[in-house]
């Protein structure tokens, strides 16, 4: 708004200078306007006359934050499907902007049956906080020889393909995948998704808590190795099928 106001002021001054035939006024505001445009272009490293794509703008600088709106994110689906891919991640924290993925897992389901799986630790190239280690059991030594995200994400996305993805609080996982896909491949993750957390709140409104372990206990589903991505995928899949009386 400040930039726009200064630009408009410069243009107004030029018009007044021409109208009043005041050459000094015209010259002053012309110099004002040109200097402002030069400063704007240099400071923002942006050429207003050059057409650029959304992705180029997004990645003009590596440190530029990802668009928080994630305009190309897929839609949520609230009905039952019998073919999809379950996803789950473990990360160093809650923020896709500042935290890193340390485990990627997925379970492919066709006609209600698990037909294939994917799981890999990921080297985050930063220290895994002790709080995360206590929750997931994943520590620095376990990921030391694991691939970094740029080396493994392509395989993970290829495994998922164009499937609808199922997860518990799935938007957390999708946001990390979306942002990392932008960083690595300059393209968003656009798959539609199903969220068992959302479904649980609708289907089981009287349940006090809607954590994955609480819902698993409600349905008498054995939940081993909680907070390891692969096992959470299996638990999420069982919960989803129980919700729709398919298991």
Active site positions, annotated: 227
Phi, psi of 111 (to 5 degrees): 55, 40
Under 8 Å between Cβ of 117 and 86? no
Q: What is the DSSP-derived secondary structure letter of residue 98?
A: T
Contacts of 130-133 with CB under 8 Å at 24 or more apart are 132/90, 132/91, 132/92, 132/93, 132/102
Q: Is the dihedral of CA 57, 91, 72, 108 positive or negative?
A: positive
Tell me which H or E stretch contains 120: strand 113-121
């Amino acid at each position: 708004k400040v930039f726009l106001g200064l630009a408009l002021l410069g243009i107004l001054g030029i018009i007044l200078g021409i109208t009043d035939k005041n050459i000094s006024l015209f010259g002053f505001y012309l110099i004002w306007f040109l200097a402002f445009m030069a400063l704007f272009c240099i400071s923002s490293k942006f050429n207003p006359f050059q057409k650029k794509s959304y992705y180029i703008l997004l990645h003009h600088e590596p440190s530029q934050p990802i668009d928080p709106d994630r305009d190309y994110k897929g839609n949520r689906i609230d009905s039952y499907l019998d073919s999809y891919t379950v996803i789950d991640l473990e990360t160093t924290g809650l923020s896709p902007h500042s935290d890193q993925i340390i485990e990627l897992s997925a379970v492919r389901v066709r006609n209600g049956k698990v037909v294939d799986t994917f799981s890999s630790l990921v080297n985050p190239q930063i220290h895994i906080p002790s709080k995360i280690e206590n929750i997931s059991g994943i520590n620095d030594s376990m990921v030391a020889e694991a691939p970094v995200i740029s080396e493994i994400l392509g395989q993970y996305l290829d495994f998922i393909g164009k499937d609808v993805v199922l997860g518990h609080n799935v938007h957390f996982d999708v946001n990390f995948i979306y942002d990392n896909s932008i960083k690595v491949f300059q393209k968003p993750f656009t798959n539609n998704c199903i969220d068992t957390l959302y479904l649980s709140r609708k289907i089981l409104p009287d349940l006090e808590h809607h954590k994955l372990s609480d819902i698993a206990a409600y349905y008498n589903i054995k939940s081993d190795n909680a907070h390891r991505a692969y096992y959470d995928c299996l638990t999420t899949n069982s919960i989803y099928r129980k919700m729709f009386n398919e298991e």
